[in-house]
A and B are shown apart, each in its own frame.
Chain A
Amino acid sequence: MSVDLTQNQWVALAWAELLIVYLGYFLYLRWLERKKPKAEGEE
């Protein structure tokens, strides 16, 4: 794949990816916190 980005665009891409993954894991933790445990015998 050929992409033509400026240096600043590559920098923005790298930091945006970092922030998105951090935010994604943070939201996963919030979901996990609210998720109810399975009832006994429930598959």
Chain B
Amino acid sequence: MNEKVTSLDQPLQRPLWLTLLGLACLVGLGVGMYLALVVSPPDVNQGELIRIMYAHVSVAWICFVAVAVAGFWSALYLWRGRERDDVRAVANAEAALVYSALTITGGMIYSKPTLNTYWTWDAKLTLTAIMVALIVGYFVVRALIDEPTRRGRVSAVVMLVVVVSLPFNYLAAEWFRTLHPAKSINLDGSGVSMDASMLRVLLVNVAVAGLIYLYFVSERVRIGLFKLPAAAKEAAPVTTEVVRVG
């Protein structure tokens, strides 16, 4: 009887670049917090509370990125059926869940002292809540379906539904009456309504949140791919089982 050898028999190695990326995240987080909590001037209307904006807006932007990237890998999985694409979709979906949870809770903490309420069921906030519910649904679907190929396909469709909601969520503050402030930075090139000193701090914190997102996704993909051979073996949709023999 041949001994089956998979990568699971080897210790999981962390590449040097990933360790360095993790250290860069720590340094970046320190710099971002220093700029937000110390360097940034208080706002003329919000006072010290503007310092919450740097945490809230940066994670909200990265949440949108994570959902879009998860949608990209989900679409690729539906097209090519490669397990690796599903692993990458899951990694980004987890990041999307982390960042969407941060967006909602951070937004509530920001909203209470500035708008005197934690929550209101207006278009922007409701769409965000639906987005979080759908991302949770993505993982519920994955937990309920045992057969890996079907699990990957059904959950990929759920993620594509989340992606469809993104533009509505992004533009909801412009299209509907909402308690959520309108955008201060317009991606259509119509300008920035924020002081340059605050904009710089915001952009640094967005970059840091993006760096941390990259680190989380890279780690999650590394772990997912490492464990893939055993899972893919169970999932093999073809009739012949491919086993590496060492």
Contacts and interface: CB of A to CB of B under 8 A. Distances in A.
B144 to A, nearest CB: 15
A11 B223 contact: no
A11 B55 CA distance: 9
A11 B113 CA distance: 10
B113 A5 contact: yes
A14 B110 contact: yes
B154 interface: no
A33 B4 CA distance: 21
What is the interface residue range for chain B against chain A?
A: 20 to 34
Contacts of B223: 29, 32-33
Q: Is the interface of A mostly helix, strand, loop or mixed?
A: helix
B12 A22 contact: no
A14 B220 contact: no
Contact of B113 (A10, A18, A21, A29): A10
Nearest to A9: B113
Interface string A11-31: 101110111011001100100
Nearest to A19: B29
Contacts of B33: 15
8 contacts: A8-B48, A11-B49, A14-B51, A17-B102, A17-B105, A18-B55, A22-B29, A29-B216
